[in-house]
Structure 1
């Protein structure tokens, strides 16, 4: 008993020593004190920084601040982009027109490419487009020249009819009011002749800018039609591997939306122009063809262009045919607006443009304030493209996108 207990007592230091060595080699020591009893220090004794922030700032304010500074950064980036584009307004407009020409001519060029080389198909397509544009312009010039003399007589008689109409009830305008107005206009032109001449000369400079933009747009459209897909593939190849697929996805969505909008707005504008031309011709309003062409180009400004062009037609009808025909033209304005808003846009452009009318109106106003008429034309397709890119990237986020580097 004594020996066995002695041996046990003799082995116990070794065992304890082994345990100590194990603890010395990294084994955790047993908890002591408050840790052994699992007693935690009260939170209020030593408040952390996070706890103080959480108690002082509410969650919705922190979320709003997080979104706020991100929106500020995005807004600053968008403003910087538009400021840079504004510095190169002519180049930006030329590239936009080149993209429009590419979207319109690409189907015909692809069709011609089945029977001839790509370069020849591009040349033939552009030549046909140029012939079509100059043919329409020559038709307008011939129409105006042929009706100018009769139009002048009708306008003189129409002004006299308007004077008699305004002198009667309910307006009761004084007989010499319009004559005084004409005299004031003549005196204004005489006294401001120098400024009017300088304005005309600046208009010549504008004409040179327009020709420059047209030539540059035609030059860029040649390369976009010939090798636009290869140019985009080269651009995508310069990006990092992880960013190639999102950029390709965004570019595909943007191009589909832009081509759909461009072709759709051309179809809508052509139908509006045909309806206006036929209506004015049946009513006997002079300059029906030029007014129809004006309606075609005005339809490229949504919600605003068509009413303005038809208002010009109503003024011409009032001066040439009297108040009754002008009232019929006003009714024509309302009818064409309803057809465009409730029939043409839903059928033709619903797949390309999925924007609320309020968004379209705000985009047109902001574009016109920023860059005038070109800004009003560019605003809606730009917003449509941005929204489609956002939808495409949201549906296929970069984390779940398939890498395309292989």
Structure 2
């Protein structure tokens, strides 16, 4: 005859059904226990993220240099790979970097020559444009009417402000010299990192993977491949898209006979790297130049033309060039760019979208295949 204790022992040994263990805290509701367990995990995760962000802020210039090196690597990687067919890795990398440097130097030369050639005409045009704008304000043909006394008062306030702050502005400009030197060092470090990545990036990645346990290596390889494909594709796509809208803006400004068409087109090209806010900011500058040089209707034409170019960028170029690399909803892009701008300023606005896009690509590569559930709309949207 088997005793109850023996039955219990047999059940615990795997020879019979195991009875459910009693709740160690019967006085605590289950939902509260689950909420508490998740709460401390969320707090711990937030603490880790805060520490990482704090550490990143302390070495932000180094991180910016690494990001710049990755951008240069993504843009010049195809050039270096093409040259490596005939040259060793070192000379191919040096020649690819030389091609990139010549491209940047040519762009700067183009801007300087265009400004120098049109600066005298631009000064006269700006003076005439300002007078025309003041005449419009005086005449009452605009919704806002300004009298001569108010205009004189504005100029007097501006002159007083300049007299009070000119020395502090000069001191601030002198203090910025040190910042310029620091940024030159950041650019130099970024170019050096790009040279290392172009020459031996695959070997560096292989060495990094081998430092981890063998069980973790496949997932790291999968994550690294997805991250680089997303980042490289986004960077090259952003470069080609910005180049296209810069060329279209240059053609538009030439047709409308706006002075400084070349520098303004370069400004539109640079603004194309900042999603949502870069192109509109460049558009405002181009409109102000058109207003000062050619009058109100030229400004309106420039605004309409660059707005149409922006629509072409958002609905044709970006989906065609970058759609398969980073797939983020427009609302997500807007929130990410806004958050990046608030946290890191202009650098944050540039970095935010590729960082979030790469994180999403890694998540998609590592997550298990989801079950095919039917798409059910929200009840709120089906009333």
What TM-score comes out, normalization by structure 2 length? 0.88
One of 70, 82, 86 as aligned partner of 2:53: 82
Task: Give the CA deviation at 1:86.
Answer: 0.9
Aligned residue in 2 for 1:39: none
Equivalent residues, number: 354
Q: Distance in 1 between matches of 2:296 and 2:74?
A: 43
1:221 corresponds to which residue?
A: 194
Matches of 1:30 and 1:220, distance apart in 2 = 74
Query: Where does residue 179 of structure 1 map in the other structure?
Result: 152
1:94-113 matched pairs, under 5 angstroms: 94-113=65-84
Shift of 1:79: 2.2
Higher deviation after alignment, 388-397 or 229-238:
388-397
Q: Structure 1 50/311 Cα, relative in aligned 2: closer, same or farther at 3 Å? A: same
Q: Is 1:255 aligned with 2:228?
A: yes
Structure showing greater radius of gyration is 1
**TM superposition shift of 1:199:** 1.0
| 1:275 aligned residue | 248
Alpha-carbon deviation of 1:179? 3.2
**Gap change, CA 1:123 and 1:31, over 3 Å in 2:** closer
Q: Secondary structure at the match of 1:149?
A: helix
Aligned equivalents of 2:321 and 2:311: distance in 1? Answer: 15
Aligned CA distance change for structure 1 residues 167 and 99 (closer, same or farther; 3 Å) = same
Which whole-Å CA distance do the structure 1 matches of 2:34 and 2:327 have between them?
Answer: 29
Paired with 1:31 and 1:93, the residues of 2 have a C-alpha distance of 70
- SS state of the match for residue 171, structure 1? coil
Note if 1:57 corresponds to 2:39.
no
SS where residue 78 of structure 1 aligns? helix
C-alpha distance 359-75 of structure 1, shift in aligned 2 (>3 A): farther
Change in CA separation of 1:320 and 1:221 when aligned onto 2, cut-off 3 Å: same
Using the alignment, how far apart are the partners of 2:3 and 2:364 within structure 1? 58
Q: Tell me, yes or no, if structure 1 residue 126 matches structure 2 residue 100.
A: no
Partners of 1:67 and 1:354 lie apart in 2 by 30
Aligned counterpart, 1:404: none
CA 77–237 in structure 1, closer or farther in 2 if over 3 Å, else same:
same
When structure 1 is superposed on structure 2, of 355-364 and 372-381 the one drifting more is 355-364
1:319 aligns with 2:272: no
**What is the CA distance between 1:64 and its match in structure 2?**
4.3
Q: Which runs of 5+ in 2 are unaligned?
A: 9-20, 371-383
Deviations 1:97-128 (A, max 9, x none): 00000011111101001111111100111011
Q: CA deviation at 1:75?
A: 2.5
Q: Secondary structure at the match of 1:52?
A: coil
Q: 1:291 aligns with which of 249, 252, 264?
A: 264
Distance in 1 (CA, whole Å) between partners of 2:329 and 2:97 is 35
Q: Tell me, which stretches of 5 or more residues in structure 1 are unaligned?
A: 1-27, 36-46, 398-406
Q: Which residue, 82, 89, 113 being the options, matches 1:142? A: 113
TM-score normalised by the chain length of structure 1: 0.83
Alpha-carbon distance, 1:48 to partner: 4.6
